[in-house]
């Protein structure tokens, strides 16, 4: 059973800083199946990545998607980022059904939705310089001249907290946290409205996680960005998410705003997840006892 | 079992494709066996045309191919224009000699390569291994042609070995033991050449396959149990390394066939090699196609044997079936 | 020696050798086709510093043909014919890279003496000069054929790896066909399809094309592997998220990953193809007379009389060995380096 969100409909929930009650992104009934065929045999194995997923992300807000690894979260993220095609369902961005568009029509829409991957090392081409990497989306979308693109890239570097004097370095010369900042800078190049973060913090150490979260919060406030943040770390989620959707075995089992989820979880899986999250204080208490 | 049946089917299809392919490229040649005749003003065009149709050279490609395919299944491989005799007996005679040469060399090469490869892997890094490596590398880089010519030079200059052919002039006068000795004496240099040409890459591969296995955790565990190094090497590591080695066996047949062609021509061993070269120079179409097909059959057969061996020895392939 | 040093060394040697080959006309005292019926099968000319009167000359010299023409050749006998070695002598005209003409040769002796550094063959042609000119043919053939093979390999492997599906199936099955035959047999079969009596240049071009066409399967398979893994990388996915076209992705992100494999393949293939050309010509199926391909130089060794009496005819074969050693060293070093480069 799932509960759909009606953010503005619940007067007790904390008011978001957007004045729109229309979701930026609405996903309805999305499913994806993979069919595997063994060579020389009639057998067909159908693997379902996720089924009947519906969620909404509002402008300027963060929806966290939690669940165990292998629950189909990454596959879902890729479908919403238009990198894969789902088997059925609808993806609406500001009311427009993206799956009905052909490749040419989709081209300008791609600016609106961008993805940040879990491993920044694989998400950045090790042979390109930082400046080239950040400017690439502009190049592909045909924006501006070369010097203009470079200027914008340098500007973005500063925005994410990197020293623009390092524009000539390759990704390998940056630290893990810095690489993720590069990826964020690249994602911001086309001024998107929605950022999908696929476990973007999972490969970072705790200190870096906090720093990047702060950066993301600043960017969200400054540009009114929406985030779809996929994570398996509930503790982190509690810190930044406005709403949470819980995924279990390819389905959304529970979905409500953060505080309500943590205080009154309904589904058994949600309860399990919450039980496994313990605060540092409770651990220390137990040990000293 | 289904795995083997699949491999067999695959091989058959491959051979069919090869036959069409080789037949096709030969037909692409402008001119044919009788073209030199047609240039001769003393021979009338009519004669040439008659000869052509007599040998069936004036029909279109698919018909000739189908004709050829049908006769192959009957055991008739066509006619050799140069010698006027049927191809099949000619080829069989030569093929026997080539098999003798390559079979002996293959056996010898593997019998030498396995111990040497294992031994190098076991003594990896020590100076004996390094010295062996240098020797292997140097033989690896010497072009086969140069190697075979050097052997020929040796034979000519020292007179210790016969310089060609399979038997001496007085072969028929010798007794059975003498005959065997005679052939063996003639076989010696070609085998040496072939083995020297194919041994180095074999040793290299065996050595690296063994090294890879010797670095696996289960070998370390066996050693930690106190099992002797020799036992570890032969009873633990070698069976696991056998998988890539069996595959290598299939590939080594291909290399051996290519090298055998050259050694047969240089050292005048009457095998398929010289037959092929002469046939090409004479544009003897059917002989060329038959020779190429024969070598493919050897190759495919060798790979099938390797597949069967793999099936018999590697339990993973058998269980794949059940799933 | 580290791999990098090994690579640099072998590359330098190869470069130097290629220079000599390129300017073969300059380094060779004679034209490759210049015959001298008076001195067939002459042994390598002895270069002397001390003459019969035991006096030392700073300039090396050779003895005249009267001594050479005798068999067995007389060396260092008292002779009134005395021909010092000269540098930068004018001689037979030749072309550099087929464009520039020149007459200057690095060294030579005045007529009627001959300086055969590696002896002469049945027609009195200088083996040393023929060896240098032969390098032009054999090395060039090997190089162009290797590039052709690898180019087809990129095309086939790239398409198969990137687009997958039935295209991949067809291309890989086709490649299997080429790999299934022992390559020498295949080469012969295709060569057999070509007419035997056509112009030298046509033979050369056809030969290169044939060799190149046969060997595409292995590079294609390797490149396909690289492309398959490269196209799944997240940075390719990200670029696609910006709306990049397939052509852009291939050009900018996927294919550059194949450069390392390409380079290794070319260094491996060039010596193989050079050898293939040499073998074909040796057997009479390649470039014909009077083109001095290395194979042609070696073909006379099939005669008993040559092997028995004229040892210097074997020198070209011996000289091939160090060339291939350097090639293999370069290929090995490249392969080791390529293994340790992180993707």
For residue B192, the model assigns a pLDDT of: 93
Which stretches does DSSP call E strand in chain C? 48-50, 56-62, 83-96, 100-109
> Between B144-158 and B238-266, two packed helices, what is the crossing angle to 10 degrees?
60
Range name among A280-289, B39-48, C21-30, C74-83 with the lowest pLDDT average: C74-83
Which residues are bridge partners to A27 per DSSP? A55, A91
User: What does the pLDDT read at residue A11?
Assistant: 42
* Residue B146 with chain C: CB contacts under 8 Å: 317-318, 320-321
Q: Which chains touch A (3 or more CB pairs under 8 A)?
A: C
Is the pLDDT assigned to residue C342 strictly greater than 60? no
Mean pLDDT of the C188-204 span? 69
Inter-chain touch C241–A140, beta carbons under 8 Å = no
- Give the distance from residue B122's alpha carbon to the nearest chain C alpha carbon, in angstroms: 22
Quick one: average pLDDT of B19-32? 67
Nearest residue to C128 via CA among C116, C136, C138: C116
Contact A125 C240 (CB under 8 A): no
Nearest CA in chain C to B285: C192
- Confidence bin at C46 (pLDDT 50/70/90): confident
Report the neighbours of B using a cutoff of 3 or more CB pairs below 8 angstroms. Answer: C
Q: Is residue A205 part of a domain?
A: yes
Higher-confidence position of C177 and B36: C177
pLDDT of residue B1: 67
CA R_g for chain C: 25
pLDDT above 80 (res B163): no
B260-269, C60-69, C281-290, C312-321: least confident range: C60-69
- In this prediction, residue B57 carries a pLDDT of 67
Q: For the segment C233-263, what is each residue's pLDDT rounded down to a tens digit?
A: 889 989 988 888 888 988 888 888 888 888 8
For residue A2, is it within any domain? Answer: no
CB contact under 8 A, B277 and C324: no
pLDDT (average), residues B200-227: 86
Residue A12 has what pLDDT? 39
**Which among C183, C304, C317 has CB closest to B146?**
C317
Task: Tally C-beta pairs within 8 A across A and C.
Answer: 48
Chain A positions in Cβ-Cβ contact with residue C238 (cut-off 8 Å): 115, 117, 123, 183, 186
Q: Enumerate the residues of chain C whose CB falls inside 8 A of the CB of residue A82.
A: 241
Q: Taking CB atoms and an 8 Å limit, are C298 and B142 in contact across chains?
A: no
Res C210: pLDDT: 79
Per the CB < 8 Å rule, is C237 touching A110?
A: no
Report whether pLDDT(B150) > 60. yes
- The CATH number assigned to the domain holding A68 equals 3.40.50.300
Average pLDDT over residues C173-182: 76
CB contact under 8 A, C177 and B17: yes
Please report which helix (H) or strand (E) contains residue B9, including its range. Answer: helix B2-28
Chains that touch C (3 or more CB pairs under 8 A): A, B
Residue A90 pairs in a beta bridge with A28
Residues of chain A with pLDDT under 70: 1-20, 37-42, 70-71, 278-281, 289
Mean pLDDT for the stretch of residues C124-138: 89
Q: Do B31 and C195 touch (CB under 8 A)?
A: yes
Answer whether A123 sits within 8 Å of C238, measured CB to CB. Answer: yes
Interface membership of B263 toward C (CB under 8 Å)? no
Does residue A39 fall inside a structural domain?
no
Question: Across the interface, which of A107, A124, A172 has its CB nearest the CB of C235?
Answer: A124
Per cent of chain B over pLDDT 90 is: 8
Give the nearest partner residue to C278 out of B22, B145, B266, using CB atoms.
Answer: B145
Query: In this complex, is the C-beta atom of A114 within 8 Å of any C-beta atom belonging to chain C?
Result: yes
The chain-wide mean pLDDT, for chain B, equals 80
Residue C54 and residue B237: Cα distance in Å, rounded?
69
**Residue C51: its pLDDT value, please?**
66
- CA–CA distance, A197 with A158 (Å, rounded to integer): 21
Rounded to two decimals, the pTM is 0.78
Q: Tell me the nearest-neighbour CA distance from C309 into chain B, angstroms.
A: 9
pLDDT tens digit sequence for B242-291: 877 887 787 777 778 778 888 999 998 998 889 888 888 777 777 888 88
Residue C67: is its pLDDT beyond 60? no
**Are the Cβ atoms of B262 and C188 closer than 8 angstroms?**
no
C68: pLDDT strictly greater than 70: no
In this prediction, residue B54 carries a pLDDT of 66
Total Cβ atoms within 10 A of residue B175 = 8
Beta carbons of B288 and C298 less than 8 Å apart:
no
Q: Which two tokens stand for residue A243?
A: 């709403």
CB-CB under 8 Å, C235 with A137: no
Query: Average pLDDT of B21-28?
Result: 69
Residue B136, pLDDT above cutoff 50: yes
Whether A81 contacts chain C with CB within 8 A: yes
| Residue B66, token pair as written in the block | 């189908």
Q: Is residue A16 part of a domain?
A: no
- DSSP line for C39-61: STTPPPPPPEEE-TT--EEEEEE
CA distances from C84 to A172, C106, C108, C119, C154 (A): 64, 14, 9, 18, 55
A230 is in which domain, residue-wise? 25-32+47-274
**Closest by alpha carbon to C294, among C185, C116, C139?**
C139
Per-residue confidence (pLDDT) for residue A15, from 0 to 100: 42
Give the number of domains in chain A: 1
Question: Taking CB atoms and an 8 Å limit, are C196 and B276 in contact across chains?
Answer: no
Whether A188 is in a domain gets the answer yes
Pairwise pLDDT comparison (C226 vs B163), residue with the higher score: C226
| Min distance A286 CA to chain C CA atoms (Å) | 42
Smallest CA–CA distance, residue B258 to chain C, in Å, is 5
The alpha carbon of residue C196 is apart from the nearest alpha carbon of chain B, in Å, by: 8
CB-count exposure of residue B106 (10 Å: 0-12, 13-18, 19+): buried
d(CA C82, CA B157): 34
Residue B60 sits at φ, ψ, to 5 deg, of: -70, 165
- Say whether C242 and A115 touch across the interface (CB within 8 A): no
H or E segment to which residue A77 belongs: helix A73-80
């Amino acid at each position: 059973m799932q509960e759909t969100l009606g953010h503005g409909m619940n007067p007790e929930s904390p008011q978001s800083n957007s004045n729109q009650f229309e979701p930026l992104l609405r996903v309805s009934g999305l499913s994806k199946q993979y069919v595997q065929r063994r060579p020389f045999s009639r057998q067909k194995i159908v693997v379902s990545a996720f089924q009947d997923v519906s969620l909404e992300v509002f402008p300027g807000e963060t929806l966290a998607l939690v669940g165990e690894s292998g629950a189909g979260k990454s596959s879902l993220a890729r479908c919403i980022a238009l990198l894969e095609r789902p088997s059925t369902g609808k993806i609406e961005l500001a009311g427009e059904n993206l799956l009905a568009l052909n490749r040419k029509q989709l081209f300008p829409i791609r600016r609106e939705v961008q993805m940040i991957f879990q491993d920044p090392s694989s998400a950045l081409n090790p042979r390109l310089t930082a400046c080239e990497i950040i400017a690439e989306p502009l190049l592909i979308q045909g924006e501006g001249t070369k010097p203009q693109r470079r200027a914008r890239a340098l500007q973005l570097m500063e925005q994410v907290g990197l020293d623009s004097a390092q524009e000539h370095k390759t990704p390998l010369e940056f630290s893990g946290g810095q690489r993720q900042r590069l990826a964020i800078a690249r994602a911001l190049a086309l001024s998107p409205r929605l950022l999908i973060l696929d476990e973007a913090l999972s490969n970072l150490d705790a200190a870096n996680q906090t720093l990047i979260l702060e950066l993301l919060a600043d960017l969200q406030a400054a540009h009114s960005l929406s985030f779809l943040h996929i994570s398996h770390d509930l503790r982190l989620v509690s810190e930044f998410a406005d709403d949470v959707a819980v995924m279990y075995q390819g389905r959304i089992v529970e979905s409500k705003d953060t505080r309500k989820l943590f205080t009154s979880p309904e589904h058994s899986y949600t309860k399990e997840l919450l039980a496994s999250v313990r605060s540092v204080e409770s651990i220390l208490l137990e040990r000293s006892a | 079992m289904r795995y083997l049946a699949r491999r067999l089917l695959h091989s058959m299809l491959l051979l069919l494709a090869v036959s069409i392919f080789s037949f096709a490229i030969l037909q692409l040649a402008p001119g044919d066996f009788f073209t030199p005749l047609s240039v001769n003003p003393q021979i009338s065009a009519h004669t040439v045309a008659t000869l052509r149709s007599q040998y069936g050279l004036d029909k279109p490609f698919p018909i000739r191919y189908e004709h050829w395919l049908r006769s192959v299944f009957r055991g008739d491989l066509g006619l050799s224009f140069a010698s006027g005799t049927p191809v099949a007996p000619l080829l069989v005679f030569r093929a026997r000699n080539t098999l003798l040469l390559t079979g002996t060399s293959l056996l010898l090469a593997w019998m030498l390569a396995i111990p040497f490869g294992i031994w190098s892997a076991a003594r990896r890094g020590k100076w004996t291994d390094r010295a062996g490596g240098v020797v292997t590398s140097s033989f690896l880089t010497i072009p086969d042609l140069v190697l075979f010519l050097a052997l020929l030079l040796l034979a000519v200059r020292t007179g210790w070995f016969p310089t060609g052919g399979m038997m001496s002039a007085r072969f028929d006068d010798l007794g059975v033991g003498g005959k065997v000795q005679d052939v063996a004496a003639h076989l010696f240099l070609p085998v040496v050449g072939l083995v020297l040409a194919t041994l180095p890459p074999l040793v290299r591969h065996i050595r690296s396959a063994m090294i890879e296995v010797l670095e696996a955790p289960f070998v370390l565990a066996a050693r930690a149990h106190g099992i002797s190094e020799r036992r570890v090497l032969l009873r633990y590591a070698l069976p696991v390394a056998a998988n890539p080695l069996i595959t290598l066996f299939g590939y080594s047949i291909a290399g051996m066939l290519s090298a055998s062609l050259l050694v047969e021509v240089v050292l005048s061993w009457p095998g398929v090699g010289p037959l092929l070269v002469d046939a090409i120079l004479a544009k003897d179409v059917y002989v060329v196609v038959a020779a190429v097909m024969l070598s493919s059959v050897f190759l495919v057969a060798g790979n099938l044997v390797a597949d069967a061996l793999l099936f018999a020895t590697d339990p993973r392939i058998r269980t794949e079936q059940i799933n | 020696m580290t791999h990098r040093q090994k690579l640099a060394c072998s590359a330098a040697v190869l470069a130097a050798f290629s220079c000599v080959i390129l300017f073969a006309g300059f380094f060779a005292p004679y034209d490759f086709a210049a015959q001298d019926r008076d001195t067939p099968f002459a042994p390598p000319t002895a270069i002397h510093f001390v003459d019969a009167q035991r006096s030392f000359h700073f300039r090396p010299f050779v003895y005249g043909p009267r001594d050479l023409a005798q068999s067995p050749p007389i060396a260092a006998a008292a002779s009134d014919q005395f021909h010092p070695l000269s540098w930068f002598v004018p001689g037979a005209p030749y072309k550099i890279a087929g464009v520039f003409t020149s007459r200057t040769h690095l060294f030579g002796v005045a007529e009627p003496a001959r300086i055969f550094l590696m002896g002469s063959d049945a027609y009195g042609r200088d083996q040393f000069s023929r060896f240098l000119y032969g390098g032009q043919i054999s090395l060039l053939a090997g190089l162009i054929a290797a590039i052709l093979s690898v180019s087809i390999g990129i095309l086939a492997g790239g398409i198969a790896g990137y687009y997958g599906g039935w295209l991949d199936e067809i291309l890989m099955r086709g490649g299997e066909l080429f790999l299934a035959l022992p390559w020498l047999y295949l080469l012969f079969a295709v060569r057999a399809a070509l007419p035997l009596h056509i112009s030298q240049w046509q033979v050369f071009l056809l030969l290169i094309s044939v060799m190149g066409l046969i060997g595409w399967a292995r590079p294609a398979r390797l490149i396909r592997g690289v492309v398959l893994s490269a196209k799944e990388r997240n940075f390719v996915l990200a670029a696609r998220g910006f709306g990049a076209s397939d052509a852009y992705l291939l050009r900018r992100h996927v294919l550059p990953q194949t450069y390392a494999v390409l380079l290794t393949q070319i260094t491996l293939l060039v010596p193989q193809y050079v050898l293939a050309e040499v073998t074909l010509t040796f057997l009479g199926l390649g470039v014909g007379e009077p083109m001095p391909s290395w194979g042609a130089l070696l073909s006379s060794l099939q005669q008993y009389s040559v092997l028995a009496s004229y040892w210097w005819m074997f020198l070209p074969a011996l000289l091939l060995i160090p060339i291939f050693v350097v090639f293999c060293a370069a290929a090995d070093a490249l392969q080791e380096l390529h293994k340790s480069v992180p993707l």
